[in-house]
Every structure is written in structure tokens, then in C-alpha cells.
Amino acid sequence: MEDDIGLWKQKEGVFKNKFSTKLTWEMLRSRSEYCEWHRGVWFNYATPKYAFLTWLAIHNRLSTGDRMLSWNGNVNAACSLCDTPIETRNHLFFECRYASIVWKSLVRGIMEDDYTNNWQELVTMLSTSQKTIKVFTLKYVFQATIHCLWLERNGRRHGEAPIPPDKLIRQIDRSVRNRFSSIRLVGSKKMEGGLRYWFSTRQ
Ligand SMILES: [Zn+2]
């Protein structure tokens, strides 16, 4: 193969047999930006099914109303949680009336003055923050809430009875407690106090 002489990939689709520091650096840099938000999704003690769904959401690969509409013009694209005419990723997480009640109740004690329900702000915040109990908790609640809201949304689309926000909040609260309890069992020094921290934000 002619490529075996070691061509440097300078940008998508362009190969030259001369190494360019600047262009290669730019490629590596954009790759590390990619990893920045990656850290927000795949982290120690994440729950794989929550992380996977969050990863799909970050890539906007969930079959939300707007995307289904682009595949089939006859589909009902309204939000199943609040009847807004077009359901989008950013609407579901967490601008939706129903979703924002759940999100706010769970994280207002963590985020305090930085509270937001804007998708882009949250993803940026979670990708660049330090590794602290507070950030771990926020990331974990972010993923658990995405997962529970998506299940609730799918259930309603299939005709199941709506779950009131209070009940969904209790479900997510329980899964956060269970996570902290199981982390304690593996004896992570760093995560000690996680459960106490979570309780302190739930006042
Ligand atoms: Zn909605």
C-alpha cells in the first residue's frame, strides 16, 4: 500500500508526507477538547447504563421528537412529558416543565447560585470541573436524571400512566443513595462522606 510510507494526517482527508507541527498540534488539541466532555460522561463510579444513555444524549442520538420527525413526517413529535409541540434533546434535559421540576428539586442544593437547566451550560460545566464530591454528585445526578426522564418519556409514549414528579425525584434520590452506599463498601477514602454530602444538599 502506498500509505505505508508513513503519511502524516494533517486534517480530515488530507495526507502529506511532510510533518506539520502546527496542524498536528491542532488535531491533538481538538481531540483533547473531545476528551474534556468525555470526562463528564465516563468517570469512576458512574453507573454504565446511565453513562451510556448520557453519551447518546451528548451525541444527540436519542430518538427525540425532532429527530423522529426528520425520519418520518407523520410521527407525533410532541413532548410526552408536557405537550410542547416539538420535543428536542435540550427541551427534555431539562427545559421541559416536568423535567425542570425534577432537575431543580434534585440539584438546587448542589448548584446553589450556579443553578441552570440549560443543556449546553451543564455539559460545559460538568466537562471542565474538578474532581470533588460535589462535582461527582452533580455528574451522577445528571446521568441518573437523564436516564429516569428518558424511561418516563418512553413509558408515556407507550401509553403507561404518568409518574408524578415527586415520585420520580424519590426514585432518583434513592439511586444516588444506593450508589454512595456501594462506593462506601468498596472503601474509597476519597468518596467517604458522599452520602452525608448528598443528605446535606437535600434539606
Ligand atoms: Zn416537555
Give the pLDDT confidence of 80-124 residue by residue, as tens digits. 999 899 999 999 999 999 999 999 999 999 999 999 999 999 999
Q: Measured between alpha carbons, how far is 103 from 93 in angstroms, rounded to an integer?
A: 9
What's the CA-to-centroid distance between 83 and ligand 1, angstroms? Answer: 6
Average pLDDT over residues 20-38: 56
What's the CA-to-centroid distance between 25 and ligand 1, angstroms? Answer: 42
What's the CA-to-centroid distance between 118 and ligand 1, angstroms? Answer: 14
Same domain, residue pair 11 and 47: no
Same domain, residue pair 48 and 141: yes
Same domain, residue pair 82 and 141: yes
Same domain, residue pair 173 and 78: yes
pLDDT of residue 19: 53
pLDDT of residue 98: 98
Same domain, residue pair 149 and 74: yes
What's the CA-to-centroid distance between 201 and ligand 1, angstroms? Answer: 26
What's the CA-to-centroid distance between 94 and ligand 1, angstroms? Answer: 8
The domain in which residue 28 lies consists of 1-34
What's the CA-to-centroid distance between 126 and ligand 1, angstroms? Answer: 23
What's the CA-to-centroid distance between 99 and ligand 1, angstroms? Answer: 7
Q: Among 50-59, 104-113, 179-188, name the one with the lowest average pLDDT.
A: 179-188
Same domain, residue pair 19 and 47: no
Q: Over 70: is that where the pLDDT of 196 sits?
A: yes
What's the CA-to-centroid distance between 63 and ligand 1, angstroms? Answer: 15
What's the CA-to-centroid distance between 95 and ligand 1, angstroms? Answer: 7
H-type alpha helices, 59-132 = 65-71, 89-90, 97-111, 119-128
**Which has more confidence, 128 or 170?**
170
Same domain, residue pair 179 and 122: yes
What are the DSSP E strand ranges found in the chain?
8-11, 14-16
